[in-house]
């Protein structure tokens, strides 16, 4: 049974640490060490995706992780840099065209600060409900596009191809040739460049990269409790050091400065905050959806109540901490949350243990990271983002609802063709269009009495008795501007399909929870039309609030008090009593 906890306006500190007993501590500590093993290679890899130093990824697993763990209301949600957020930050930096590569870190810290403030703004106005408006197909298409983009970038690293931006390199010359030949830029130009780079790949780097990718996947399948990413990284790092592959073209991480994060602040002009705002909004939108969906999933699974708005507060505080400690943005991590749940996590204690473990590594063991092969890190990141490419989701949408499949495909192609930042706008518009499209076509039914007269039931289109003197019509949702015209067209079609107008027209308002001014204006037109046809208007199952609204809009004047009923059966009984045996047989 789910325990009911009081929802408060202000965050409840340590809410994510509830529910754990002393008997659970050994399991929680073991899970925390596993979490650290997962975070070290991935956080370094995501820092590289963005173009920040490895320390920026590791710092994200210290203070921001602790801040989130202490402030969140979810006991199972893990915050960490993730593939989708890394892809969005990278795309935002490309869109901004940062004037100097040395300023990349400051721009990312500025984006983290803006994202943190946006999260806090969402918390102030209690906007967690907005997660309901990013639909499954929109998220599937958008995140799949991000995943594919990041995957291709990691393949470049595995091939040991120089960065495309480095003028004069082989990759840069090939990229210029490709973009000039096929007259395109962006993802498809990079894909064409990738194929042309294959003959020039470093064999050792390719072997290491794909060995990392395959070993992580195999360990996950056959030994899921083993931290595959860490095992692959340790083995391949030893291999590179022993065989001196760094002297044969295999790029390594290099020296990582030891020590804890220092207090810092983004050194960017004020105009830069406006430039990073679109990227920050995109980060918040994705985290809002993924984070709150995961929060609901795990709270329901483990029987506790989590406040979604407090989770937003925790994300805000964590990202402000990221900005002030020189780390990359931190968001919801579905993969690490799932891994921790599988490891038996029951509170945020594993996050605190992971932060402590990585703190010790940053203080005493950074020398061990120097020989980490970048190709192995790329293979680990590539494996992580493969899970973002939701091919099964596309297949399910194709079979279940073709319209949603095309929405997902549009979002997917928008990311690849136009870029993630533009795709955020398109995804939002598609979500709005999808919601409005469904709202404008509400379910409606005609109801008829069963043979034994015990109740009324819906009849399918074309199955209704068009000669019955009693028509009972049910409108399936609230009546407002988006669907108001539907009720007018629906009732006009019902009346035009009949040779003789019905004696009574009963509006079943059981599903109409609310009505706006447009709906009221349309209902006036409906009632005028029914009167012209000579129909007696009756109302059933209207809730007290709706009755008051109808009265305020002057609509109740068209319905006599004797024609307002609690149930459809009562309306049918009164109709039979007043119409006589002939009408009863007809109905």
Beta carbons of 484 and 517 less than 8 angstroms apart: no
Quick check: 475 pLDDT over 80?
A: yes
Cα(154)–Cα(555) distance, integer angstroms: 64
Topology at the third CATH level for domain 444-586? Transcription Regulator spoIIAA (3.30.750)
Quick check: 38 pLDDT over 60?
A: yes
Quick check: 352 pLDDT over 60?
A: yes
By the 10 Å C-beta count (0-12 exposed, 13-18 middle, 19+ buried), 437 is classed as exposed
What pLDDT does residue 403 have?
84
What pLDDT does residue 88 have?
87
Beta carbons of 240 and 371 less than 8 angstroms apart: yes
| Long-range CB contacts for residues 359-364, cutoff 8 Å, separation at least 24 | 359/62, 359/260, 361/36, 361/40, 361/58, 362/55, 362/58, 362/59, 362/62, 362/258, 362/259, 362/260, 363/258, 363/259, 363/260, 364/258
Residue 487: helix, strand or coil by DSSP?
Answer: helix
Quick check: 533 pLDDT over 90?
A: yes
By the 10 Å C-beta count (0-12 exposed, 13-18 middle, 19+ buried), 458 is classed as middle
What pLDDT does residue 585 have?
42
126: left (phi over 0), alpha (psi -120 to 50) or beta: left
C-alpha distance across the termini of the chain, in Å: 48
Q: Torsion angle, CA of 458/461/465/466, rounded to 10 degrees? A: 130
What pLDDT does residue 554 have?
95
**What's the chain's average pLDDT?**
87
> pTM for this one?
0.75
* Nearest CA among 544, 484, 534 for reference residue 504: 534
Average pLDDT over residues 186-206: 84
At 183, the pLDDT band (50, 70, 90 cuts) reads very low
Quick check: 276 pLDDT over 90?
A: yes
Quick check: 9 pLDDT over 80?
A: no
Quick check: 35 pLDDT over 50?
A: yes
Domain ranges of the chain: 29-160+201-436, 444-586
Beta carbons of 233 and 376 less than 8 angstroms apart: yes
Beta carbons of 305 and 2 less than 8 angstroms apart: yes
Name the phi and psi angles at 538, rounded to 5: -125, 155
Summarised one tens digit per residue, pLDDT across range 285-336 is: 889 888 888 898 899 889 899 999 999 999 999 999 999 999 999 999 988 8
Task: At 343, list the tokens.
Answer: 């490891």
Quick check: 180 pLDDT over 60?
A: no
Quick check: 187 pLDDT over 50?
A: yes
**Which residues is 422 bridged to in the sheet?**
none
Cβ neighbours around 398 below 10 Å, total: 14
Beta carbons of 231 and 219 less than 8 angstroms apart: yes
Query: For 567, which DSSP code?
Result: S
What pLDDT does residue 171 have?
52
Beta carbons of 386 and 264 less than 8 angstroms apart: no
At 25, the pLDDT band (50, 70, 90 cuts) reads very high
Quick check: 584 pLDDT over 70?
A: no
Beta carbons of 304 and 19 less than 8 angstroms apart: yes
Summarised one tens digit per residue, pLDDT across range 416-474 is: 888 776 777 787 787 778 778 888 888 999 999 887 777 888 887 778 888 899 999 99
Per-residue HEC secondary structure of 336-396 comes to: HHHHHHHCCCCCCHHHHHHHHHHHHHHHHCHHHHCCCEHHHHHHHHHHHHHCCCCHHHHHH
**Selected residue with higher pLDDT from 402 and 8:** 402
Q: Pairing between strand 536-540 and 504-508?
A: parallel
Summarised one tens digit per residue, pLDDT across range 119-174 is: 999 999 988 887 777 677 888 888 888 889 888 888 988 988 544 444 445 555 54
Task: At 22, list the tokens.
Answer: 């002393």
What pLDDT does residue 514 have?
94
What pLDDT does residue 176 have?
52
Show Cβ contacts of residue 494 under 8 Å, excluding neighbours closer than 6 positions: 446, 471, 473
Quick check: 582 pLDDT over 60?
A: no
**Selected residue with higher pLDDT from 226 and 414:** 414
Helical packing angle, 83-96 and 374-386, nearest 10°: 110
């Amino acid at each position: 049974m789910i325990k009911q906890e009081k929802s408060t306006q202000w965050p409840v500190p340590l809410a994510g640490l509830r529910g754990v007993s002393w008997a659970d501590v050994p399991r929680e500590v073991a899970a925390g060490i596993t979490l650290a093993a997962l975070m070290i290679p991935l956080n370094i890899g995501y820092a590289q995706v963005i173009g920040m130093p490895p320390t920026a990824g590791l710092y994200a697993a210290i203070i921001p992780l602790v801040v989130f763990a202490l402030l969140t209301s979810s006991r199972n949600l893990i915050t960490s840099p993730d593939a989708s957020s890394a892809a969005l930050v990278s795309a935002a930096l490309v869109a901004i065209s940062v004037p100097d590569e040395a300023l990349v870190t400051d721009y990312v810290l500025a984006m983290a600060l803006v994202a943190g403030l946006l999260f806090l703004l969402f918390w102030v106005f209690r906007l967690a409900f907005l997660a309901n408006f990013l639909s499954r197909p929109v998220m599937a298409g958008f995140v799949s596009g991000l995943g594919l983009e990041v995957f291709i970038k990691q393949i470049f690293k595995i091939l040991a191809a120089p960065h495309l931006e480095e003028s004069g390199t082989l990759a840069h010359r090939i990229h210029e040739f490709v973009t000039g030949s096929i007259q395109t830029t962006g993802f498809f130009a990079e894909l064409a460049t990738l194929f042309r780079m294959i003959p020039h790949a470093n064999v050792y780097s390719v072997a290491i990269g794909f060995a990392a990718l395959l070993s992580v996947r195999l360990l996950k399948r056959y030994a899921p409790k083993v931290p595959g990413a860490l095992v692959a990284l340790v083995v391949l790092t030893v291999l590179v050091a022993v065989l001196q592959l760094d002297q044969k073209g295999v790029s390594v991480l290099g020296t990582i400065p030891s020590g804890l994060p220092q207090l810092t602040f983004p050194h960017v002009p004020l105009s830069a905050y406006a430039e990073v705002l679109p990227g920050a909004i995109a980060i918040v939108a994705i985290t809002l959806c993924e984070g709150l969906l995961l929060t609901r999933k795990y709270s329901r699974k483990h029987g506790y109540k989590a406040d979604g708005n407090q989770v937003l507060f925790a994300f805000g505080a964590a990202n402000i901490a990221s900005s002030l400690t020189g780390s990359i943005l931190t968001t919801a991590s579905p993969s690490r949350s799932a891994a921790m749940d599988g490891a038996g996590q029951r509170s945020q204690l594993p996050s605190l243990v992971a932060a402590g473990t990585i703190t010790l590594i940053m203080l005493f063991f950074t020398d061990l990271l120097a020989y980490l092969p970048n190709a192995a890190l790329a293979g680990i990141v590539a494996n992580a983002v493969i899970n973002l490419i939701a091919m099964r989701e596309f297949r399910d949408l194709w079979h279940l609802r073709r319209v949603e499949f095309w929405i997902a495909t549009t979002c997917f192609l928008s990311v690849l063709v136009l870029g993630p930042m533009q795709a955020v706008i398109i995804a939002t518009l598609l979500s709005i269009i999808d919601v409005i499209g469904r709202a404008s076509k509400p379910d409606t039914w005609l109801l008829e009495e069963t043979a034994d007269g015990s109740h009324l039931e819906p009849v399918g289109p074309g199955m209704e008795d068009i000669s019955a003197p009693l028509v009972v019509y049910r409108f399936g949702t609230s009546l407002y501007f988006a669907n108001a015209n539907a009720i007018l067209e629906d009732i006009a079609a019902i009346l035009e399909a009949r040779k003789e107008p019905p004696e009574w027209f009963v509006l079943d308002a059981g599903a109409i929870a609310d009505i706006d001014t447009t709906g009221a204006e349309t209902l006036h037109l409906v009632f005028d039309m029914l009167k012209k046809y000579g129909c007696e208007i009756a109302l059933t199952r209207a809730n007290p609030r709706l009755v008051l609204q109808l009265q305020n809009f002057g609509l109740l004047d068209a319905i006599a008090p004797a024609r307002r009923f609690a149930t459809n059966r009562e309306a049918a009984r009164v109709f039979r009593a007043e119409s006589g045996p002939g009408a009863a047989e007809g109905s």
